[in-house]
Structure 1
Amino acid sequence: MSFVKRNTVLSSRAGRALPQAKPPNAEKLQPPPGVRPSPLDGRPTTSTGTASLDQLLAGHNGLPLGTCLLLEEQGTTDFSGVLLRYYAAEGLVQGHQVHLVGYPPEWRRQLPGVAQPDSKSSKSSKPAPAPEEKMKIAWRYEALGNSAAPGNVASREDASQASFCHNFDLSKRLEPASIKGSLHPTPSTGPPTFDPRGQITRSPLKAIIKHLQSKLLSSAPTEIHRVVIPSLLLPSFYAPQCSQPSEVLRFLHALRALLRTYSSQLTAIISLPTSLFPRSSGLVRWMELLSDGVLELVPLPATPGAAPPPASSNAEKTDQSQGLLKVHSLPVYHEKGGGGAETSTFRETLSFSLSMSKGLNIKPYSLPPMIEDEEEQKKEKASGGKPKDGIDF
């Protein structure tokens, strides 16, 4: 009968310890620039260029590759166009291939530039404290080096977030030095592609699908592509034949097939003016079914005769809600669903605000304070009287 010393670890004896081999091609498993795994299911995701929109996408913290978003907007505003410019600018800065549909190549001059780091944030990041200023609880980080300190870990997280989603400034234009990718204009979708006698020479939307397919076939497997489709079916950029259901639905079917075929390389964002094509029509309903995520932007109308906001605080101006955001569907986790329908995202009322430096910020909607009533109450208190409509309990 054999005995083993109690303090001896069994795996430390000869013949028990197995060598830990490194996985093959470990260096090749690094994701491409601008791509990181989803914290939910590990699928590769890329940023839309808007941090608040990335957080909204069903917990993926980004747009999953192989999916598309449909942005619907009411009225004559162009908030969805701003989101598309951020999406295209993020792709060019990350080195992705951006394909522009419908619009001319001069649209690239409207892309926002990369914002410079704020001086206040740089001042707030203080250097590491001296050894005598360290807290007593920080002794467990000393053996791991300075890189394991909580402050350095937070700075690394901020740096990784900045490399995944950049900050852009609408008052600036994207400089050529910041562009690492390339913008590919697709074949024109305007009326010149049609015969003046009314006979269609070729289908412009079908030509776009062939263009995308040829670019994807000739690209490397690790190259990321983005499809930007601003103001789909707008009469000034799309021929009247494109708005027929047989034409546009065939185009969306083919685009969805490309997204599923190249599920690790391709994403797309489409904007649709619902003032021309309302959601009550069957065509828009089918377009929503063929999209992985559907968001609706409802700008708030300006009340005539309302007093302007006070000019004392600039933060209140930028944080003032300019519209409501309705979430109709989000990219699902798998074929059984799970795209955020079980969370409170669909039930919560969301709003958005746009500023030149912060971009478009999505947040829960809250009613603004009644400025006129507050001013009247201050005047009444200053004069020594009681408020007019005051209720005492």
Structure 2
Amino acid sequence: MSFTKRNTVLSPARPGHVAVQSKVEKQLAPGLRPSPLDGRPTTSTGTTSLDQLLAGHGGLPMGTCLLIEEQGTTDFSGVLLRYYAAEGLVQGHHVHLVGFPPEWKHQLPGLATPDPKSKSALSAAPLEEKMKIAWRYESLGNVSNPGFSARTESRSVATFCHSFDLSKRLATSSCKGSLQPTPSTGPPNLQHATPNPVSPFKAIIKHIKAKLETSPADIHRVVVPSLLSPTLYASRCTQPPEVLQFLHGLRALLRQYSAQLTVLITMPTSLFPRNTGLVRWMEILCDGVVELIPLLAHPGAAALSDKKDPKANEQPQGLLKIHALPVYHEKGGGGAETSAFRETLSFSLSASKGLIIKPYSLPPMEEEDHKEKSPAGTVKDDIDF
């Protein structure tokens, strides 16, 4: 019977071999972070509450397209589009603008000034005073919070989602990226009535592909406002072969440059209802479809807006329906099992907080604390029969 030491190494390592204990993570570009679900890189839409709905990824996954439909004559989808473009410019991304002229850059919201009073007591307190068990959960981050925890934000160099103020305009000094206009999609000039043989949508796809090839290490965002609107697009663009081939081209670019490109599209459903075959095919070609349904303003809305009541801005201004979300992988997923599809969601817009999406709930019944003054000579007490 032989005796050997149990702590001895039977097969010694080769000379010059060093064991690697931790994997070196690839450094992501500014404005990107890995998804908590499958690790794919994601970017922010500029709206924190919208990032939370995108199938649990905490942002818009790279290589995906999001279609935002809106009923009525309001422009809530345009606000989301401006947040998306402003976030890209602040992060240093290339933003490709379709339809609008380059002067649209002056309509983007500016960065909000941080309020020191809004900081939580947890971030202000020293680390020694916190619970010892909290260190295990601080690195996870809170999805329901506008940002991750204070300790995670202090470690990260860049901010994933910035806060914007609609009452301000985006300063040139805050823009690290570039706004690149695409070929025009509007109707031809009356002086040059000869139709262009090249489709404007094909010219846009060719322009975006050339930019992606020349800058392989940069992040690109495509902004398509009010798709098929007659004020921005020629009548030729509304034909099904034109618009469907355009979406097919965008989908091909998203799959080819899945680590560089994201697309956000808005479309008015008042002009193109969802029950038409064209809109159904457009929804199929997009990875995510969200619909905004504005609510009619009640008579007391004007009175509430005049008062300095913080709850006035929290009143729901519309409903939000989720028809499709970016999937986890090609086999399925996409948040179909989450509660976002089952519950009714609402949204409200304010200048300082932006567009906030939350579950819709009816306001509580207000009790009549004060009774109406009865005229003189009448009995004030109630009479029960």
Give the TM-score category using the shorter length. Answer: 0.7 to 0.9
Counterparts of 1:305 and 1:357, CA distance in 2: 22
Runs of 5+ consecutive residues of structure 2 not aligned to the other structure: 142-147
Matched to 1:201, the amino acid is: P
Question: What is the aligned partner in structure 2 of residue 378 from structure 1?
Answer: 370
TM-score (normalizing by structure 1): 0.84
Question: What is the aligned partner in structure 2 of residue 283 from structure 1?
Answer: 278
More helix by share: 1
Question: What is the aligned partner in structure 2 of residue 68 from structure 1?
Answer: 65
Pairing 1:1-393 to 2, within 5 Å after superposition: 1-4=1-4, 9-10=7-8, 15=12, 19-21=18-20, 26=24, 29-122=26-119, 124=121, 125-128=123-126, 134=129, 138=132, 154-159=149-154, 160=156, 163-192=159-188, 199-220=195-216, 222-304=217-299, 308-309=303-304, 314-370=309-365, 374=367, 376-379=368-371, 385=381
Counterparts of 1:385 and 1:16, CA distance in 2: 96
Comparing 193-202 and 274-283, the one that deviates more: 193-202
Counterparts of 1:172 and 1:286, CA distance in 2: 38
Q: Deviations over 1:364-389 (max 9, x none)?
A: 00112345xx3x4532699975599x
Counterparts of 1:199 and 1:107, CA distance in 2: 26
SS at match of 1:170: strand
Q: Is the 8 A contact 2:188 2:195 kept in 1?
A: no
SS at match of 2:159: helix
Comparing 295-304 and 263-272, the one that deviates more: 295-304
Runs of 5+ consecutive residues of structure 1 not aligned to the other structure: 142-146, 389-393
Matched to 2:371, the amino acid is: K
SS at match of 2:83: helix
Q: Is the 8 A contact 1:10 1:16 kept in 2?
A: no
CA distance 1:294–1:127, change in 2 (3 Å):
same
Q: Deviations over 1:342-372 (max 9, x none)?
A: 222111100001110100000000112345x
Counterparts of 1:270 and 1:319, CA distance in 2: 26
* Cα deviation, residue 276, structure 1: 0.7
Identity %: 63
CA distance 1:158–1:140, change in 2 (3 Å):
closer
Q: Deviations over 1:301-333 (max 9, x none)?
A: 113477833866632112110100000000011
Counterparts of 1:139 and 1:229, CA distance in 2: 47
SS at match of 2:173: helix
Counterparts of 1:140 and 1:276, CA distance in 2: 52
Q: Is the 8 A contact 1:70 1:291 kept in 2?
A: yes
Q: Is the 8 A contact 1:195 1:201 kept in 2?
A: no
SS at match of 1:164: coil
Q: Deviations over 1:200-250 (max 9, x none)?
A: 432111110000010011112x31100000111111111011011111001
CA distance 1:253–1:14, change in 2 (3 Å):
closer
Q: Deviations over 1:137-166 (max 9, x none)?
A: 75999xxxxx99x9xx94232344970001
Counterparts of 1:66 and 1:263, CA distance in 2: 4
Matched to 2:79, the amino acid is: V
